[in-house]
Amino acid sequence: MKINSILILSAFYLLFLGCSSSSDDGPDSPPAIDKSANLLGTGDSANDILSNDTFTKLKIEIAYVTGFRPTPRAIENFVNYLRARTFKQDIELVYTQLPSPDEETLSLEEVAELESENRTAYNEDDTLAIYIYFADAPADDDDEEEGLVTLGAVYRNTSMIIHEATVWSLAAQSIFISITDVETATLEHEFGHLFGLVDLGTVPINDHEDPDAANHCDVQGCLMRAELQFGGPSSKSALAEKSEGIKADCALSGASVLKLLDTKTANGSSMIVPDLDAECILDLQSNGGR
């Protein structure tokens, strides 16, 4: 009798374990996150960002290394820029503080790996998610002696890195330029590529792509211009940097940005950071933007 009782209890115990383990995959389990729509090429989501046809809300995850959070004014400028050029009025900001990866420099592959480990915001229902990482380390191929330092880069349809440590270093070189100025210029220029500019997912109405700087504008004074404002044809900003599996469609160089901002300040301009020119705005309007 005792043996039968032990056998019965054992059977119930095994049945309980079976039910418990199977319940992990049951209807109450959280669904797997579909990340595929956020792993496309730069500019592939241009229309989705600009219009409200598919997504009516933007969720921007601002991931930053402790101590390298962007300035509130730069983020305010950035959000105003998005509202001015897109139909997205519902914009949510999510701040994610991260520990330092303890790297002296960061390659684009390492940036992508950090994103896969730390990103929490992905497209869901009517919400389109953007991920911006503010790093405490410069890009691995910077050449400070030659003045070629990378401020930021876009490498996927909803992914961007800002080398915040480099932004700080660049801003410190001028008494007239603030960290906010450099952050704003970098964020707005790089996001212009996520808008699909120039001919990077948003087809130009008129030809205004710089023949010496792919995906950049040839109109003087435009935010998306490469040759004068964000480095010349020989600089990193004018040419896409490629690495295995990851491509930076724009790696924004610092020296020319500082020169531009200094020039506009010296001229007494009330708007230090340049705006998009009429051709770029026309292109955005043709692809669902304002």
Element spanning 52, H or E: none
- 203-258 pLDDT, tens per residue? 999 999 999 888 999 998 888 986 433 333 333 443 344 444 576 777 666 665 66
Provide φ and ψ at 98, rounded to 5°: -125, 150
Is it the case that residue 106 has pLDDT exceeding 90? yes
In degrees to the nearest 10, what's the CA dihedral of 119, 56, 273, 132? Answer: 0
Helix 179-194 and helix 255-266: axis angle, to 10°?
Answer: 120
- 154-176 pLDDT, tens per residue? 999 999 999 999 999 888 887 88
Most confident of 3-7, 139-143, 145-149, 253-257: 139-143
The first and second tokens of residue 8, run together, are 């019965």
Q: How far is CA 142 from CA 88, 102, 107, 156, 235, in A?
A: 35, 17, 10, 21, 11
198 cis-preceded (ω within 30 degrees of 0): yes
Tokens 């032990």 locate to: 6
Handedness of CA 206, 212, 215, 221 (dihedral sign): negative
Is it the case that residue 16 has pLDDT exceeding 80? no
**Reported confidence tier of residue 28, pLDDT bands at 50, 70, 90:** low
Provide φ and ψ at 178, rounded to 5°: -100, 165
The first and second tokens of residue 250, run together, are 């724009």
Three-class secondary structure of residue 132 per DSSP? strand
What is the model's pTM? 0.83
Residue 282 CB contacts under 8 Å (≥ 6 apart), including other chains: 205, 206
Q: How far is CA 181 from CA 77, 149, 290, in A?
A: 10, 17, 24
CB 273 within 8 Å of CB 261: yes
